[in-house]
Structure 1
Amino acid sequence: MTTQFPANFLWGVAQAGHQNEGDNIHSDIWFLENTVPSLFQERSGPGCQGYERWPDDLDIVAGLGLNALRFSVEWARIEPVRGQVSVDALDHYERVVDGCLQRGLAPIVTLNHFAAPSWFSAAGSWLADDAATLFAEQSDRVMQRFGDRIAAVVTLNEPNLEQLLQAGGKLPPHAEQLKIEMLAAAARAAGTERYFASNVLPAASQQEFQEAFTVAHRAAKAAIKTRRADVPVGVSIAISDEVAVAGGEESRDARRAAVYDHWLRVARDDDFIGVQNYERTLHGPDGEFLPEGPRNDMGSVIAPGSLAGAVRYAHDVSGVPVFVTEHGMQTDDDTNRAAFIPAALDLLAEEIAAGTPVLGYTHWTLMDNFEWIFGYGPKLGLLSVDRETFERTPKPSAAVYAASVAGYRNGAA
């Protein structure tokens, strides 16, 4: 191994409750999945049965030689009805935290990975006057229960996702109208004036939500720090590696300003900035363009250096350390993933050697799961999951990732 990572580097995988656990029936996403019309291609249903199978899944993570797990605590499980806190749900997530520690895994907790309680979204979602207060209260109850045992906290997952999808034209042409119709139908079904969810926001509401997310992030961070001042806290954003060829600088800089820079400036007051990278975007004199080359199933050209580029830019603007909270490849061809992971990690190591501080890397994701509006079609996992039996089967890329981590840890500086 010619490259090195710091000795205290966190190596893990990332998961999200709604995508993995199954039967998150009190959440806004569940409500929208069952709304007619719905932008969601299928329902999450039992997910990967992660809520029940977590001990075995933690054994798999530890068996890969990893030392960290990023996962979300589902607010909709903890407070399914406003003002009614489920002790059983808090007990469950406390067991997961303790289970991580027993297996040598640092627990990295995400407080909101898109899904929120349906009552919260029916009452105005993040635009409600008391939204930040409610989120701070949820953050406090999580910290009070097991905050003394976690390694880091991500407040919000990808609050800029909609801007990135819209800027890059990643949604089908009809999606915006269907989104509006779905949210209107959901509001009628909930008996309220409006209904939103974090990752299905109307284009016209983006600025409002950015401001509201910012207030909520800061309120949550204050609540977390009140309980435990030393725990690292940050927000994770979706970030493509925006690269300009000659004449493309204006297009590149406009994309950065529209999608990333607000959150990178917010992060200047945080302990880290979470980077979630899956692709590189090229800009020329006429704007974004797609070069020739092998592509992943997102339609992007496979670019192992995209992670290092995104990390570099995130740190340059924010000035704080980076935590790679997600990185991976959507592909049905696991040989592509198996080649992609070590190539990307070698380039990340070079970026660290050049002086960019990176705290850890959690690969998205441990197993194929529910990918929001696209259902169970997209494959990003190191393991496949039988949709009938829920049996987990490691792909070759799982062994490649494990071997890469072992090599890096053995040669750690």
Structure 2
Amino acid sequence: MCTTSNRLCSRGCLHPRSAAYRSICLRASGRQLVPQRQSRRSMHTPVMASPDHSRRSADSDEELGRNKLQGDRDWEFLVGTAISVYQNSGGGGNNWSRFEEQRTRFGQPTIEGGQKCGKSNNFWEYYEEDIKRVVNLQSTCFRLSLEWSRIEPEEGKIDMEAVRHYHDIFDCLLKNKLKPIVTLHHFVHPLWFDEKGGFINEANIPYFVKFCETAFREYHEKVHLWITFNECNVMAFCGWLYGQFPPALLGNFKLAGRHLLNQFRAHAAAYKAMKALPGGRDSNIGIVHNVMRYEVLRPEAFSARWVTPVVEWLNRVWATEVTLDYFRSGRFCWYSPWAPAMTAQDEMPGLDFVGMNYYGKVSIDWRYQSAAVPPGVMTDMPFQLDAAGLYQGLQLMSTLNVPIYITETGIADAVGDRRPLWLQTYIPEVERAVRDGYDVRGLMYWTLVDNFEWAHGFSIKFGLYEWAPGDGRKRVPRAATPLLAGIFREMPAEMAQAHARAMEERPYKQKRPHPSPQSVLDIHPLDASHNV
């Protein structure tokens, strides 16, 4: 791992947190190196919920209203599950429905086994039954997506039947005392928008903002937690670098960076627009980032010489540091040793909270494949269970100085023999983070029912309820499902107590040093007792 700070290492890698790296990026854009904008609290300590530490967007509090999540008065910890409506209901006329019909440049189906989403497990029709399952899990919230292609299938034409159907879903959630958490873009957008260039074209941002305004006007009385984008970094990585998402390009670093920046800018524009609408002051708007660490499986091995540069590059293009930089300061710097830097300096974007999706880590062997060394445990995805990484991810996201929701975490485990281990190791890390003073406000398990997992089709099983194509409305609870329900029953009260104790012990500053990592490249595994 490259540990240099202000120069190129022997492998030609420039550390992304160094002054030299920042200078290169800013010089490329014709700007001067300026100090990063800081909030009142140091960026190197956990966020303590306090009215004095509210984050300001580019507009004043008087114009938009102070972030309602800041402060202790209404602190609560939410528990529930997360879905995207497309993965659980399908639908046509969007970038993914077209992608499923295509083939890769090598002639293979874009989806494993040539599968298509179809109606998937059909949450769209069976939502009342599924929401009862959410209630039985002792949940207090439910995260779902508002599918743009259902609401606006043609440019400027709103499908009122879909609008009313979403009202029915939200009413059902509220009737069951579940708080809806709505994602406005979960990898899926209308075909007409995609044909205009999607988010590659900055001129298309107003179309997304208009959709956000339409959705907010319609549902703001029922929804108070809004997410603009799910995992901008994953969409850029998988669509333009790795070839698993539409448009299935490989290694197009330039377009990946442009897509990432334009989604960040779309968030900033949508945030301002939604906050300016009636009800905007009383709503909270955030964005979701996927945290994942790549590492060399055997750093002591001879093969580490050629694996390490690839791992460093993967950590960089996974864009955790790029994302944190942008939302802390408005500065965007997309850099690779093999491509020109892409830079921009925008206003600091508005942000009321941040969602963190976390599953595990990727340990890469000499064949450039994901693997695990005992006692490491692999999931059905190419991830290794890493409970410590959840805590470390919360440390990283805390540098944004806004409340954090764990908007997705879970395990792909078709057999069901590793999900109890996930519960035993991941959940305590959340409590540890709250106890240590990190402002974590909720946890959502991915996902309720087995669904369409993008390029993997139906082969990957994250669900608490087992389902397969052809099962219709049948869902079978997995062995760990009642265990999670028991945890959810007690978790909100336990987290509230842990938070209260943390505030009593450290109301203004940390009782003991607890630094946050400066970069995803600086994260190292904790002691073995915290690793699975």
Q: C-alpha distance in 2, partners of 1:201/1:154?
A: 27
Q: 8 Å contact 1:131–1:216 — kept in the other structure?
A: no
**1:349-403: per-residue Cα shift (whole Å, max 9, x none)?**
1011111111111110001100011100001010011421321111122111111
Q: C-alpha distance in 2, partners of 1:234/1:152?
A: 8
In structure 2, what residue type is equivalent to 1:358? V
Q: C-alpha distance in 1, partners of 2:198/2:236?
A: 18
Partner of 1:273: 354
Q: C-alpha distance in 1, partners of 2:460/2:299?
A: 34
Distance 1:365 1:212, change over 3 A: same
Q: CA RMSD in A?
A: 2.9
Q: 8 Å contact 2:148–2:211 — kept in the other structure?
A: yes
Q: C-alpha distance in 1, partners of 2:421/2:312?
A: 31
Partner of 1:137: 210
Q: 1:395 aligns with which of 478, 485, 505?
A: 478
Q: C-alpha distance in 2, partners of 1:313/1:9?
A: 20
Distance 1:145 1:76, change over 3 A: same
Over the matched positions of the two proteins, sequence identity in percent amounts to 23
SS in 1 for 2:480: helix
Q: 2:78 aligns with which of 1, 10, 23?
A: 10
2:454 is the counterpart of 1:372: yes
Q: 8 Å contact 2:145–2:182 — kept in the other structure?
A: yes
Partner of 1:312: 395
SS in 2 for 1:396: coil
Distance 1:353 1:165, change over 3 A: farther
SS in 2 for 1:130: helix
Q: 1:118 aligns with which of 188, 191, 205?
A: 191
2:270 is the counterpart of 1:220: yes
Q: C-alpha distance in 1, partners of 2:143/2:95?
A: 22
In structure 2, what residue type is equivalent to 1:50? F
Distance 1:321 1:282, change over 3 A: farther
Q: 8 Å contact 1:72–1:111 — kept in the other structure?
A: yes
Partner of 2:288: 236
Offset, 1:165: 5.6
SS in 2 for 1:160: helix
SS in 2 for 1:305: helix
Q: Which moved more, 1:297-306 or 1:307-316?
A: 297-306
Distance 1:202 1:155, change over 3 A: farther
2:229 is the counterpart of 1:156: yes
Offset, 1:7: 6.6
In structure 1, stretches of 5+ residues that fail to align are 1-5, 184-195
Partner of 2:166: 93
Q: Which moved more, 1:386-395 or 1:325-334?
A: 386-395
Q: TM-score, normalised by structure 2?
A: 0.66
Task: Give 1:175-194 correspondences, 5 Å limit.
Answer: 175=243
In structure 2, what residue type is equivalent to 1:102? K
Distance 1:66 1:164, change over 3 A: same
Task: Give 1:191-206 correspondences, 5 Å limit.
Answer: 196=247, 200=248, 202-204=250-252, 205-206=255-256
Q: C-alpha distance in 1, partners of 2:408/2:415?
A: 19
Q: 1:40 aligns with which of 81, 102, 111?
A: 111
